[in-house]
Amino acid sequence: MPELRTARLVLRPVTAADRSWLRDLWDSPAVRRYLFDDVAVTADQVAELVEASVTTMAASARGLWALRRATPGPETRAGEPVGEPVGVCGLMDRAAGDGVELVCSLTPARWGQGLAQEASRAVLAHAFATLGLAEVHAEVDEANGASLALVRRLGATRTDTRQGDHGPLHVYRLRPAGQDTS
């Protein structure tokens, strides 16, 4: 199972040992608002998502990676150990079964530090260079301004807008650098 690294992060495939902190992350009201349509996340849901990721990672080197600080940074709180989980990023099968979707969530204390972009770029590099994917999709609620800004910084092209369960949902496509984005 591939481990990915960036300047500040180590990305390791999630395992059953990550379920507790993932539930805390995903059940945080600020995170679940868009990621889970503001519905409380159960331990069973987390277990299912982790198991699906473990299976997919073993079969095709994609799934969810746990994001951990590789080095202390200026935003690291005093006494905070390096290696603590700060979020998750990955490549998941789209619900429609028509491709792969980039997903990313960070603990709210880590928002605005560029970590989502850093992790997403590492995952996309893996998708394009290692897995040979021609494109990756992202779906973002219109009201989620931070994630909209992230996909734009990643160079995504909006391909569709449809009505989601809680408002407009924008669909984006990401391709390897230098490829036509139309």
- Over residues 144-154, the mean pLDDT reads 96
Confidence of residue 165 (pLDDT cuts 50, 70, 90): confident
The sign of the CA dihedral 163, 168, 169, 173 is positive
Residue 141 placed within a domain: no
Residue 180 placed within a domain: no
Q: What size, in residues, is the chain?
A: 182
Residue 172 placed within a domain: no
Domain coverage including residue 15: 4-133
User: Which pLDDT does position 164 carry in this prediction?
Assistant: 84
Give the sheet arrangement for strand 100-106, strand by strand: 4-5, 9-13, 64-69, 85-93, 100-106, 136-141, 167-174, 157-164
Neighbours of 158 (CB within 10 A): 14
Cβ atoms of residues 57 and 13 within 8 Å: yes
Confidence of residue 98 (pLDDT cuts 50, 70, 90): confident
In three-state secondary structure terms, 119 is: helix
Whether the pLDDT of residue 170 is over 60: the answer is yes
pLDDT tens digits, one per residue of 43-96? 999 999 999 999 999 999 999 999 998 876 555 555 555 588 999 999 999 877
Residue 182 placed within a domain: no
Residue 147 placed within a domain: no
User: Which pLDDT does position 113 carry in this prediction?
Assistant: 93
Q: Tell me the CA end-to-end span of the chain in Å, nearest whole number.
A: 33
Confidence of residue 177 (pLDDT cuts 50, 70, 90): confident
The bridge status of strand 136-141 relative to strand 85-93 is unpaired
CATH number at 74 reads 3.40.630.30
Number of domains forming the structure of the chain: 1
pTM above 0.75, yes or no: yes
Residue 143 placed within a domain: no
Residue 63 placed within a domain: yes
Residue 17 placed within a domain: yes
